[in-house]
């Protein structure tokens, strides 16, 4: 045989052999069986705790990142137009499930996923029915949506503040009136304020993180203490409120443990790792074949609501936390 022809035949055989071998080589790599789109409206530690809990519960159910599941995590940077773009992207990419963290993202994702067959599991959404994320908390529902609310007992939060400051009469509150979750909490606060001895609320609203410092400054001399609910905008500007509170000796109370770690005096609210874990268990059930609408929406369980206090913050803001409150705290922040 001509050596040139023989060489060509050998080369062709090698190419064919390599082509046949490629599928078997790629089979050695993990195959991503499921893709999950995750999103938040803004980045802050409570939301990262939620996400971490979600991944942990999913792994315990056998859905392990890098082996059989892939997460795409995106942040809307506080912008609803970005939140909508993220939701549209997840739907166009035909992810297997969307994990929407926070009310604004859940609203965008539910709207985008309608009619697509893609289930949505939300978490850290305070009032999902009021925000029209679901038609009702109860199952069964026609919605291909379920999730976990971080709604904590507002009366218990106010009673905690009054136990620390028995003489408190006027409470200043900073929140974004554009967040349905915050409006619902304000309505609850107005309903119970007389029962706990709060005579007046001074409401200050903010629409962006940049507005938070101005909102806090506007409360100087107008209230006995400041409080913020689980409001994404106010939380993102928390340090600005703390600075005003410390400089002007205005006691400042939050609604989650992370706020206390960052410098609030105290909070009695949801454990966000628990919130994420519960949402992760829901997601695993859905990927295993259940319909989201057949799973009831749940609220933060009493055992998942934690009292956290910060004695140093209290001192910097001019008050002392009673020893009996410290004694029953789930955690004392450093």
Query: Within a domain: residue 76?
Result: yes
Peptide bond into 164 cis (omega under 30): no
Q: What is the DSSP string of 119-162?
A: -EEEES-S-TTTTTSSS-SSSS-SSSEEEE-----HHHHHHHHH
Would you say residue 19 lies in a domain?
Answer: no
Residue 198 lies in a domain: yes
- Do 169 and 247 fall into the same domain? yes
pLDDT in tens, 78-137: 899 999 999 999 999 999 999 999 999 999 999 999 999 999 999 999 999 999 999 999
Helix (H, G, I), strand (E, B) or coil at 171: strand
Please tell me the predicted confidence (pLDDT) of residue 2. 44
Q: At what angle do helices 103-113 and 80-92 cross, to 10 degrees?
A: 40
Domain assignment present for residue 21? The answer is no
Q: Are residues 186 and 323 in the same domain?
A: yes
Is the four-CA dihedral 97, 272, 251, 244 of positive or negative sign?
A: negative
Q: Is 310 a domain residue?
A: yes
Task: Give the Cα separation of 261 and 287 in Å (integer).
Answer: 35
Contact 83, 76 (CB under 8 A): yes
Strands 69-75 and 252-253: unpaired
Q: Are residues 196 and 311 in the same domain?
A: yes
Note whether 83 and 77 are within 8 A (CB). Answer: no
Closest of 121, 116, 93, 129 to residue 105, by C-alpha: 121
CATH of the domain at 139: 3.40.50.2300
> If we measure between CA atoms, which residue out of 41, 106, 104, 96 comes closest to residue 72?
96
Same domain, yes or no: 140 and 197: no
**What local confidence, expressed as pLDDT, does residue 16 receive?**
40
Query: Within this chain, do residues 227 and 317 fall inside the same structural domain, yes or no?
Result: yes
pLDDT in tens, 289-312: 999 999 999 998 888 899 999 999
The answer to the question of residue 1 being in a domain is no
State the virtual CA torsion across 294, 131, 150, 277 in degrees, nearest 10: 40
* Structural domain contains residue 208: yes
Q: Answer yes or no: pTM beyond 0.75.
A: yes
Arithmetic mean of pLDDT over the chain: 90
Q: What is the pLDDT of residues 223-275, one digit of tens each?
A: 999 999 999 899 999 999 999 999 999 999 999 999 999 999 999 999 999 99
Q: Domain of 193?
A: 154-269+305-332
Q: Is the pLDDT of residue 12 over 50?
A: no
Both 123 and 82 in a single domain?
yes
Residue corresponding to tokens 């089979």: 27
Mean pLDDT of 12-31: 41
Residues 118 and 214 in one domain: no
Cα–Cα distance measured from residue 255 to residue 152, given in angstroms and rounded to the nearest whole number:
9
Shared domain for 67 and 203, answered yes or no, is no
Residues 275, 261 share a domain: no
For residues 205 and 323, membership in a common domain is answered with yes
Q: Does 16 reside within a domain?
A: no
Number of domains forming the structure of the chain: 2
Q: Grade residue 314 by pLDDT with cuts at 50, 70 and 90.
A: very high
pLDDT at 157: 95
pLDDT (0 to 100) of residue 304: 85
Looking at the fold, whether 139 and 200 belong to one and the same domain comes out as no
Region 183-206 average pLDDT: 97
Same domain, 83 and 176: no
């Amino acid at each position: 045989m001509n050596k040139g022809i023989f060489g060509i035949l050998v080369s062709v055989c090698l190419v064919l052999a390599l082509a046949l071998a490629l599928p078997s080589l790629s089979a050695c790599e993990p195959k991503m069986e499921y893709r999950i789109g995750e999103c938040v409206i803004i980045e802050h530690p409570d939301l990262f705790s939620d996400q971490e809990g979600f991944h942990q519960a999913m792994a315990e159910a056998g859905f392990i990142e890098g082996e059989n599941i892939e997460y795409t995590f995106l942040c809307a940077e506080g912008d609803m137009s970005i939140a909508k773009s993220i939701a549209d992207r997840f739907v166009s990419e035909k992810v297997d499930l969307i994990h929407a963290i926070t009310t604004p993202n859940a609203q965008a994702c539910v709207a985008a996923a309608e009619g697509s067959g893609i289930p949505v599991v939300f978490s850290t959404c305070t009032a999902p029915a009021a925000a029209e994320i679901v038609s009702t908390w109860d199952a069964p529902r026609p919605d291909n949506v379920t999730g976990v609310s971080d709604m904590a007992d507002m009366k218990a939060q106010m009673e905690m503040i009054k136990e620390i400051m028995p003489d408190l009469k006027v409470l200043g509150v900073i929140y974004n009136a554009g967040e349905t979750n915050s409006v619902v909490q304000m309505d609850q606060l107005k309903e119970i304020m007389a029962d706990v001895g709060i005579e007046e609320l001074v409401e200050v609203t903010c629409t962006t993180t940049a507005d938070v410092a101005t909102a806090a400054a506007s409360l100087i001399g107008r209230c006995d203490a400041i409080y913020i609910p689980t409001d994404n905008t106010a939380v993102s500007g928390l340090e600005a409120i703390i600075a005003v509170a410390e400089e002007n000796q205005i006691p400042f109370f939050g609604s989650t443990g992370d706020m206390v770690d960052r410098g609030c005096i105290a909070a009695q609210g949801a454990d966000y790792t628990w919130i994420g874990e519960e949402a992760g268990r829901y997601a695993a059930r859905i990927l295993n074949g259940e319909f989201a609408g057949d799973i009831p929406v749940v609220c933060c369980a009493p055992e998942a609501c934690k009292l956290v206090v910060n004695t140093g913050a209290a001192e910097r803001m001019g008050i002392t936390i009673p020893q009996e409150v410290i004694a029953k705290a789930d955690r004392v922040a450093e």
